[in-house]
Amino acid sequence: MPELPEVETLCRQLKQTILGAVIEELVILDNKLGHPENVAGLYVRSIERQGKFLLIRLDQVRTLHLHLRMSGRLLWHGHADGLPAHSRFVIRFPHGRLICVDPRRFATLALDDPKDRTAQVPDPLKALSASKLRKAAQGRQAPVKSFLLNQAVVAGIGNIYACEMLHAASVNPWRRAGSLQPAEWRKIARVGRTILRHATECRGTSISDWRDLYGEKGRYQLHLKVYGREGLPCARCGEKIQRTAIGGRGTYYCAACQKSKER
DNA sequence: CCCTATGTTCCCAA
DNA sequence: CTTGGGAACATAGG
């Protein structure tokens, strides 16, 4: 479930909790995760986020790449004993344990993941450039909603924030990406930065599963304008929010104030 | 049994 | 070769 604001929240909290600590042991509890080589004895040199990936740098050559996918959570157990249900791996430190809980088992953990190509993709929290979006969308027939979810274009936007951004920009999610006008990309870029920053300040959106490193809910669910609000009145115009499916993903929008011309 | 779920990857067709 | 759409992955909950 985590998107950019949720992963950024974990990244910031991890820096406060395990930066500089020595790993005593990495215990893999789900063999679907594979068998990363032994990292015991290595220090956590730095922690960063690339899109929805969490990178834990251990030394010049070794970096743990963690992706939580749909249902992954990362929890800090300072002193508590035992393991929550669906625990998939544990990293043990002198002052506590980092536990990955993941019911659906989609999360991935790898040492220097060759599939992580998000490194040179623009990060929308730092800068979301309207001109880059517009150029990348040239000739694209896919709905703009699907385009924003494409991690090769911008890394970190997920289903909730794509819906929220398009609503804030008054752009219909079905519009073909290549058909948007420069002013519409500027609007998307502007509201996108604002929404992602605000959601990060709120420590993410806890609509159901999401919890931060310490098991606390985020607060951005209190600010959602369309996601999960089918049938409720649009905060801007009062019309009922609609739900549709784009690319197999639930998509919420206001057909009245996101009524921008097709094609 | 049906559908849905904050994500990505694979396969296939155009 | 690129793009886009749908199924698949695995599990829980309504």
Bridge partners (DSSP) of residue A253 are A242
CA distance linking residue A258 with residue A61, whole number of Å: 48
Predicted confidence (pLDDT) per residue in A39-69, tens digit: 999 999 999 999 999 999 999 889 999 999 9
**Residue A209 approaches strand B within 7 Å at CB:** yes
Rounded CA–C1' distance between A35 and B5, in angstroms: 28
A 109-148: CB within 7 Å of strand C: 140-143, 146
Statement: the CB of A160 is under 7 Å from strand B:
yes
Which nucleotide is closest to A136, CA to C1'? C3
**pTM listed for this prediction:** 0.96
The least confident of A23-32, A45-54, A119-128, A138-147 is A119-128
Could you tell me the distance in Å between the CA of residue A118 and the C1' of nucleotide C12?
30
Q: What is the pLDDT of chain A when averaged over all its residues?
A: 95
Say which nucleotide is closest to residue A152, CA to C1' distance.
Answer: B8
- Å separating the CA of residue A109 from the C1' of nucleotide C2: 30
- Strands A73-77, A96-101: parallel, antiparallel or unpaired by DSSP? antiparallel
CA of A6: nucleotide with nearest C1': B6
The Cα–Cα gap between A116 and A84 comes to 28
Q: Closest residue by Cα to the C1' atom of nucleotide C10?
A: A104
Q: Quick one: angle between helices A182-201 and A130-137, nearest 10?
A: 120
Assign A127 a pLDDT band (cuts: 50, 70, 90): confident
Among A19-28, A74-83, A155-164, A192-201, the range scoring the smallest mean pLDDT is A74-83
CA–C1' A91–C8 (A): 30
Residue A142 has pLDDT above 80, yes or no: yes
Residues of A with a catalytic annotation lie at 2-3, 52, 249
Is residue A41 within 8 Å of A240, Cβ to Cβ? no
